Structure 1
């Protein structure tokens, strides 16, 4: 019988405890740790019995879940892993697990052609690759872009459930520009990933202004269970990003037509990987250069995209963006002159 969610939380908590070699763990210590974990993740305040944790340890030692955890007792009261490098998270997939995953992948593949599942293509490919490498004991052949050292990623699950369950967040947050962190209540409406950074869109209590907060700038986060949730009336998540490069859109910002010239070396790259979905070719020049147009809100992410092409791109319109980019490149030129 598959382990339920609460049991899995307990197993993971016991595993984390026993992997800590710098502390001695009694059964009472493990009970307290599991109680704290269930309260944190599930809001369960009911205590856990000694028998429950003893049965959990017995289950982890057994083959039923495939753990075979080498849990031993020493000095007649302390628990530890006999193998200090052991963790249930390192347990290899069983043949049955691989069979189930293979079947799931086959089912998911049937939906890849449907528009509703169009965003699942990379997930299905990742599962296919993982199952194949596990079965054949080969190295993966697909390496997806990731940032394993990204701060704040631990908050992702809590924020996701807060959005789905319509719960208020109590947050301590410090932006790059702020001298110190500030605390406030936050109504979360949408999670968004951009270039391996995660952002949560929502509204602070007492305002009606939509803001996006980077998860890697959050210092502390918890569910404010006593607070009433405020429904989203400030933006449409389905259409909000239609005229954006990135995630930043200030209140009242409107899309503008941005025209830019790209030299012959970079033109094929920009044409095959557009800066924005609205991109269109305005003029193909004899030397291979191309003039493009996009209709977007002008923001910091757009300016950074343009800077990435350095001498291979020149903004032609609107005049305000031309001046901004000219100033940026002049400052960069001065920086290199000083060196």
Structure 2
């Protein structure tokens, strides 16, 4: 059942009032308390109607939100909890809730050695201790592919905070192609992970560039110029590519055929969100995708070399064919 923010504020306020047994609470008292709480949280007057409050009390008494609050009326006008120790903040968890929390904690623990998530370690331990209990310190069921020893992971926090706080960075960087490292002033925009490798996308002057975090040698804040925001949406920016390399080109339609053995796998794990099945028979299936060709896409196709053939366009087909010839030559 969906509950809006104002309703949650009212439930919490009613709960605080009824837990205060030093005062006798009438319906009008509860109305004033809820209105004051809404003003405190929202910064504007919001009078609560008597009908709204009565519906709140009815809902808190019910099982719709899982409260089952023991709210009773005494002396024909005052409200209280029949159990003075009751509170909606101390509800016992249902068995299904505990299972869901177990799964969530298991996922969070996969990031225990990842610097960006170090602050949640205390929270995880508190959840395990207070909710799950000692008997649940068991085996891992969900495992993520990760490598804590990758170079560059130490830079993630600095980049993340700089993006969040809109700060400029001075980065000493050496690409694989460069003979030596050099310093550059960058305006970080967002981070992206692909295939267990992290990349920083940043503005350098007026162009967006991509830096692999494992090629960064030094990084520090720069205060000599104001931050510029490119106002980019990562989902839109990567819409037409596989991986992290985005070229300033139009996407093209790539058609390929997978053999019968590999077709079901590719059908259930598409290369890209635009993938469509065109034809299938006993020899295999023909698919197409609408993407911008890049290094990562080529590596993806080459990984299925003996199960897949590029059909169109001819230029991309020849590029993959040439790389396959070079690879075969290494074993000739």
Report the TM-score, using the length of structure 1 for normalisation. 0.60
1:284 aligns with 2:265: no
Residue matched to 2:251: 255
Cα deviation per residue 1:121-143 (whole Å; 9 max; x = unaligned)? x9665148874696433232222
Matched pairs, number: 220
Matches within 5 A, 1:1-339: 126-127=107-108, 131=128, 135-204=135-204, 207-232=205-230, 235-251=232-248, 253-287=249-283, 289-337=284-332
Residue matched to 2:21: none
Cα deviation per residue 1:119-170 (whole Å; 9 max; x = unaligned)? xxx9665148874696433232222110111111011011011001110000
3-state SS of the aligned residue for 2:330? Answer: helix
Contact 2:172/2:183 (<8 A) preserved: yes
> Rg bigger for which structure?
2
The 1:210/1:106 distance shift into structure 2, 3 A limit, reads: farther
C-alpha deviation, 1:336, in angstroms? 0.8
C-alpha deviation, 1:236, in angstroms? 3.5
Distance in structure 1 (CA, Å) of the matches to 2:157 and 2:317: 41
Cα deviation per residue 1:78-100 (whole Å; 9 max; x = unaligned)? xxxxxxxxxxxxxxxxxxxxx9x
Instruction: Give 5+ residue unaligned stretches, structure 2.
Output: 1-89, 111-123
The 1:218/1:280 distance shift into structure 2, 3 A limit, reads: same
Cα deviation per residue 1:21-63 (whole Å; 9 max; x = unaligned)? xxxxxxxxxxxxxxxxxxxxxxxxxxxxxxxxxxxxxxxxxxx
3-state SS of the aligned residue for 1:336? Answer: coil
Distance in structure 1 (CA, Å) of the matches to 2:133 and 2:288: 44
Contact 2:190/2:202 (<8 A) preserved: yes
Cα deviation per residue 1:181-216 (whole Å; 9 max; x = unaligned)? 110100000111111111111111xx3221111111
Report the TM-score, using the length of structure 2 for normalisation. 0.61
CA-atom RMSD in angstroms: 2.8
List structure 1 runs of 4+ shifted beyond 4 angstroms.
105-110, 122-125, 128-135
Contact 2:170/2:184 (<8 A) preserved: yes
C-alpha deviation, 1:274, in angstroms? 0.4
Distance in structure 2 (CA, Å) of the matches to 1:258 and 1:133: 53
The 1:247/1:126 distance shift into structure 2, 3 A limit, reads: same
Contact 1:133/1:139 (<8 A) preserved: no
Contact 1:256/1:295 (<8 A) preserved: yes
Cα deviation per residue 1:251-304 (whole Å; 9 max; x = unaligned)? 2x11100000000111111001000011000111233x0000000000010000
Contact 1:133/1:140 (<8 A) preserved: no
The 1:185/1:143 distance shift into structure 2, 3 A limit, reads: same
The 1:280/1:221 distance shift into structure 2, 3 A limit, reads: same
Residue matched to 1:9: none
Distance in structure 2 (CA, Å) of the matches to 1:267 and 1:133: 45
